Homo-oligomer: A and B are copies of this chain.
Amino acid sequence: MAQAMIISVDVMGGDHGPSVVIPGCDLLLSRRPDVRFALFGDEAVVRPLLDKHPRVREASTFTHCEVTVGMDEKPSQALRHGRRTSSMWKAIEVVKRGEANVAVSAGNTGALMAMSKICLRGLAGIERPAIAAIWPTLRAESIVLDVGATVGADAQQLMDFAVMGGAMARALFQVESPTIGLLNIGVEEMKGNEEVRAAGQLLRESNLPNLTYMGFVEGDDIGQGKVDVIVTEGFAGNIALKTAEGTARQVGAYLRAAMSRTLFARIGYLFARTAFQRLRDKMDPRKLNGGVFLGLNGIIIKSHGGTDAEGFASALDLGFDMVRNDLMAKINADLSVYHRGRLGVANVEP
């Protein structure tokens, strides 16, 4: 793009707030010097940090905000005192006004989603939003959605998620017709609950040019990279994501315990330390940090609240990729093909 990309940032979000977010912005600038930031936060905390990171200061506009949304606030509370005034709201609002291309926050997920819905509003024809996570697999990476925005999504909502997840896969993986699977407890047609079975039928019958529907997939297929996009309702998706994170940490703990137990094991560890470093890099949760809110009039990226500067930079990077690869245009294009198909308009056009 000719114009610089502008990423708006809720500097106050996350467990560590500005002390992680500003260094994270600095890291992104070292990789992508042309990016510009619109920063929102409490100037008493943010100004001194900008003085320590002059590169960020030069590349940013800064807006002081009186209000910070707490990490434990309920969405309703956050809206009551933070609507229009908080750093979170203002970071979203500039996306709505077209003054930034994407917003990134490490703040409270529920509040961020509630404010995003009210400020940006839903895309035409999409009933409910989804949060899409990027999942490391043995093949490469897959997209899993929804991981917690829409508990109890029905068949039509799951179908919407498939279309939006497909558009995101086209943006992220540069494939023309990404493969899609519906998460279920078996691969046979009669398995699972009514919503999943009905969504399977919708996907089979939809015949969308930009999607390759592969049927049901099971929990252990996600990490094998069986499909590009895994579609699921938010309750099961959130549990799958957190269970996978917990299992990876658990195996890491077993490995550390085993490698420090005997002298021979410790010697072996020294010989193989480059290999262990590769493994750590491969499993580093900071590398794939960031959930993408889909189904709204604008792109919002949610960073893990507890991440460090490296992790926050990954979330910024994800936002950068989504803008550079035209996520919103791809979603809108795919939705319009899908909705034309549903209305049968495609068949009656001259």
Cα–Cα distance between A274 and B223 once the two chains are bound (Å)? 28
Cα–Cα distance between A261 and B276 once the two chains are bound (Å)? 11
Selected interface stretch from A91-99, A120-128, A262-270: A262-270
Selected interface stretch from A56-64, A170-178, A230-238, A341-349: A230-238
CB 8 Å contact bits of A132-160 with B (1 = contact, 0 = none) = 00000110000000001001100000000
Selected interface stretch from A161-169, A278-286, A299-307: A278-286
> Majority SS of interface residues in chain A?
helix
Whether A239 contacts B242 by the Cβ 8 Å rule is no
Whether A192 contacts B268 by the Cβ 8 Å rule is no
Contacts of A221 in B (CB 8 A): 246
A110 to B: closest C-beta gap in Å? 8
- Is A318 interfacial (CB 8 A cutoff)? no
Whether B148 contacts A251 by the Cβ 8 Å rule is no
- Is A224 interfacial (CB 8 A cutoff)? yes
- With A193-B151, A238-B185, A279-B258 as given contacts, are A246 and B271 in contact (CB-CB < 8 Å)? no
Size class of A's contact patch? 35 or more
CB 8 Å contact bits of A207-236 with B (1 = contact, 0 = none) = 000000000001111111000000010111
Whether B193 contacts A219 by the Cβ 8 Å rule is no
Contacts of A188 in B (CB 8 A): 74
Contacts of A2 in B (CB 8 A): none
Contacts of A251 in B (CB 8 A): 247-248, 251-252, 283
A66 to B: closest C-beta gap in Å? 26
Copies in the complex: 2
- Is A241 interfacial (CB 8 A cutoff)? yes
- Is A43 interfacial (CB 8 A cutoff)? no
What is the chain B residue whose CB lies nearest that of A267?
A: B271
Interface centre among A247, A255, A276, A282 (most CB of B within 10 A): A247
Contacts of A193 in B (CB 8 A): 151-152, 235
Whether A274 contacts B262 by the Cβ 8 Å rule is yes
Whether B238 contacts A240 by the Cβ 8 Å rule is no
Cα–Cα distance between A276 and B218 once the two chains are bound (Å)? 29
Chain A contacts with B in 7-43, Cβ cutoff 8 A: none
What is the chain B residue whose CB lies nearest that of A234?
A: B185
Whether A242 contacts B261 by the Cβ 8 Å rule is no
Whether A248 contacts B246 by the Cβ 8 Å rule is no
Cα–Cα distance between A273 and B269 once the two chains are bound (Å)? 11
Whether A218 contacts B242 by the Cβ 8 Å rule is yes
- Is A245 interfacial (CB 8 A cutoff)? yes
Interface centre among A188, A251, A255 (most CB of B within 10 A): A251
A residues adjacent to B (C-beta < 8 A): 74, 137-138, 148, 151-152, 183, 185, 188, 190, 192-193, 218-224, 232, 234-236, 238-255, 258-259, 261-262, 264-265, 267-276, 278-279, 282-283
* Complex A-B: 12 CB contacts under 8 Å: A74-B190, A220-B243, A220-B249, A222-B246, A239-B239, A240-B243, A247-B251, A251-B252, A251-B283, A254-B279, A254-B282, A264-B272
12 more contacts with CB within 8 A, not counting A220-B242, A240-B240, are: A185-B234, A218-B242, A222-B243, A224-B250, A244-B244, A255-B255, A258-B282, A264-B275, A265-B274, A265-B275, A268-B268, A268-B271
